[in-house]
Structures are given as structure tokens and as C-alpha cells.
């Protein structure tokens, strides 16, 4: 079985920086790549900020913070991943983008290296087929925010070998996360259940059944959810929510997964949630204000 000691992460955004963070804390050598040095620097700054918060909360020591940062290395080109044991793709939830990354990445990897994807909805079998090593390819779906959330969905493609699956299980266990194994169906388990709920909350808003505030308050206090579904959609990113609903709708051909037209409209407007300062809430002031 492949022994994983070094982990490459492609994508220094919210998910990629979180994956790099938890891997570095657990002693892995980590390479962090993105499309520009500025994006890598922004990812490293996010990681440092989150580690600093963990120190303040007495979850880790200052020494652990410094050591973890020292294990993360900026990787400017994909061919620098040549000696890594596992490379995890955490780019935007777009199949074309992911396929291009794998096509560019694989020629540089050593033969025994594993490739993982953090996709939250796209077929593992289909993505694996765009690589030169489908038997060493697996879905490793972390939850957001990665340093806080305990679950990782492991998803095998049709060609994923037992050795790859076992190595991935050991890797996730070393991170101190809990594994849930999902079959390779659109959106897997968590998002197959969660995103239709969010989409239904958007329909409830779209049809005028309740306001943003009323819907979120109802689900927080009526269903004991830690945050309302529209607040959660803003946190996930409305573009990501739409992408997952489109994968469900196209992959399962069931009208119950049709993305709400209001969700489409917000994405078309560029109101993607927290990351753009506007979504179902406006985050430009001191406190978030509902936009509808």
C-alpha cells in the first residue's frame, strides 16, 4: 500500500487552504498550488489566520502553528508535484476545469502517486477517466470549513483499486477525521440531502412564502439548525450551490432537483454570498442585512 507522507493541494481557496491547513498540522509535507502566486499567498494568509485563531482558542500551541506553516510550500507549477505521494484537486466545482488540471498534472507524477478530488458532486468515475491512473484515483470530499468539520466522504470510482481506497482511509484517519463511504452517484450523500433543502428554501423565498429572515429563523429555531439555509447557502457560495443542483438535475433527471430560478438570477448577478459580499444577505455593513 502507498504510504502517504506528502500531500499536494491544487487550489488555494476556501477548501484548498483548509485541506492544506489540516494536513500540515498532522505532520504531512504540503505543497499548495493555484493559478497565480498572489492566490497562493492569499491562501497562506488564510491558513495563518485560522491557525492563529486555533492558538487563541487553545486548540493548538504557538509552536504547532509555526511548525505547521513551515510544512506548507508554495508550488508554482504542477510539475513540482513530481515527488508527492498524493495530490488533491480542490479547484472550482466545474468538470471542464478539473479535467484540464488532471491532464496537466498526471504526466509529472511518479507512477505510484495517488490523485484525489475534493469535488462535492461530480462523478468520480468520469473524472478518473481523464487521468492516466483511474485505479489510483479517489474522491476525498472534505466539508467546509475543513479545520472544524469532522466528516470526510470517500468515494470510489468504478476503477479505484482496494489499495488506493485503503491508503485514503488511513490518510483520513491520520487527519483525525471521520469517514463516510459513499457510492459514486451525483452529489454523493451530504450534498444530495443538503442542497435540495437549500434549493427548497430558495423556492420558499421565490414563491413569497416567507422572507429571508423568516425562513432562516424558522429553520434555526424550528428545526434546531445551527444556521438558516439561506445563510448557509451564502457561506457555501451560491455558484457552488447552483453547480451541485445542476449536477443533480442532469445526473438524476428528476424535476425535484430543478435549480430555483431565483438562485440562477443571483448567480447571474454575481451575488454569490459571503465571498462577493452579497447574496441572500448584504455583508458590506457591520451586520448582514437580508437582500429580499
**In the chain, where are the structural domains located?**
6-182, 191-290
- For the domain made up of 191-290, the CATH class stated in words is mainly alpha
**pLDDT value, residue 119:** 96
By percentage, how much of the chain surpasses pLDDT 90? 98
Element (H, E) at 23: helix 14-25
Phi, psi of 138 (to 5 degrees): -155, 150
Query: What is the distance between the alpha carbons of residues 138 and 166, in angstroms, rounded to a whole number?
Result: 11
Average pLDDT, the chain: 97
Q: How far is it between the farthest Cα atoms of the chain? A: 56
Average pLDDT over residues 198-217: 98
In tens, the pLDDT along 8-66 reads 999 999 999 999 999 999 999 999 999 999 999 999 999 999 999 999 999 999 999 99
Q: Does pTM top 0.85 for this prediction?
A: yes
Lowest mean pLDDT among 67-71, 90-94, 270-274: 90-94
1 has a pLDDT exceeding 80: no
- CB–CB of 66/94 below 8 Å? no
**pLDDT value, residue 140:** 98
Query: What is the distance between the alpha carbons of residues 192 and 249, in angstroms, rounded to a whole number?
Result: 11
Q: Which fold has domain 6-182?
A: Rossmann fold (3.40.50)
- Terminal CA-to-CA distance of the chain, rounded, Å? 53
Catalytic positions are 120, 141, 153, 191
**pLDDT value, residue 2:** 78
Angle between helices 238-252 and 190-206 (to 10 degrees): 110
Q: What are the cell numbers at 224?
A: 434546531
Query: What is the distance between the alpha carbons of residues 179 and 149, in angstroms, rounded to a whole number?
Result: 12
203 has a pLDDT exceeding 80: yes
Query: What is the distance between the alpha carbons of residues 163 and 179, in angstroms, rounded to a whole number?
Result: 16
In tens, the pLDDT along 118-163 reads 999 999 999 999 999 999 999 999 999 999 999 999 999 999 999 9
Instruction: Residue 153: count other Cβ atoms within 10 Å of its Cβ.
Output: 20
Q: Which residues pair with 142 in a beta bridge?
A: 152
Distances (CA, A) of 41 to 37, 72, 89, 146, 243: 6, 11, 18, 19, 27
246 has a pLDDT exceeding 90: yes
Average pLDDT over residues 164-189: 97
Query: What is the distance between the alpha carbons of residues 179 and 1, in angstroms, rounded to a whole number?
Result: 19
Query: What is the distance between the alpha carbons of residues 282 and 278, in angstroms, rounded to a whole number?
Result: 4
Amino acid at each position: 500500500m502507498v504510504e502517504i507522507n506528502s500531500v499536494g493541494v491544487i487550489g488555494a481557496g476556501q477548501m484548498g487552504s483548509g485541506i492544506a491547513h489540516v494536513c500540515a498540522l498532522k505532520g504531512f509535507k504540503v505543497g499548495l498550488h493555484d493559478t497565480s502566486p498572489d492566490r497562493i499567498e492569499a491562501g497562506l494568509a488564510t491558513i495563518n489566520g485560522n491557525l492563529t485563531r486555533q492558538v487563541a482558542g487553545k486548540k493548538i500551541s504557538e509552536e504547532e502553528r509555526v511548525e505547521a506553516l513551515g510544512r506548507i510550500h508554495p508550488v508554482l507549477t504542477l510539475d513540482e508535484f513530481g515527488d508527492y505521494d498524493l495530490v488533491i484537486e480542490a479547484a472550482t466545482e466545474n468538470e471542464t476545469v478539473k479535467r484540464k488540471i488532471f491532464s496537466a498534472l498526471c504526466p509529472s507524477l511518479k507512477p505510484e502517486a495517488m490523485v484525489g478530488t475534493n469535488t462535492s458532486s461530480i462523478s468520480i468515475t468520469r473524472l478518473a477517466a481523464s487521468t492516466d491512473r483511474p485505479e489510483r484515483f479517489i474522491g476525498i470530499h472534505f466539508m467546509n470549513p475543513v479545520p472544524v468539520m469532522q466528516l470526510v466522504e470517500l468515494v470510489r470510482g468504478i476503477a479505484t483499486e482496494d489499495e488506493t481506497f485503503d491508503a485514503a482511509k488511513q490518510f483520513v484517519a491520520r487527519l483525525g477525521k471521520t469517514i463516510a463511504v459513499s457510492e459514486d452517484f451525483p452529489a454523493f450523500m451530504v450534498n444530495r440531502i443538503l442542497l435540495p433543502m437549500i434549493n427548497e428554501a430558495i423556492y420558499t423565498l421565490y414563491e413569497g412564502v416567507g422572507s429571508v429572515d423568516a425562513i432562516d429563523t424558522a429553520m434555526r429555531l424550528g428545526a434546531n439548525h445551527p444556521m438558516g439555509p439561506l445563510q448557509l447557502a451564502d457561506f457555501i457560495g451560491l455558484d457552488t450551490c447552483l453547480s451541485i443542483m445542476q449536477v443533480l438535475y442532469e445526473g438524476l433527471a428528476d424535476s425535484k432537483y430543478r435549480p430555483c430560478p431565483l438562485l440562477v438570477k443571483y448567480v447571474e448577478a454575481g451575488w454569490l454570498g459571503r465571498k462577493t459580499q452579497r447574496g441572500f444577505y448584504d455583508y458590506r455593513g457591520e451586520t448582514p442585512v437580508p437582500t429580499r
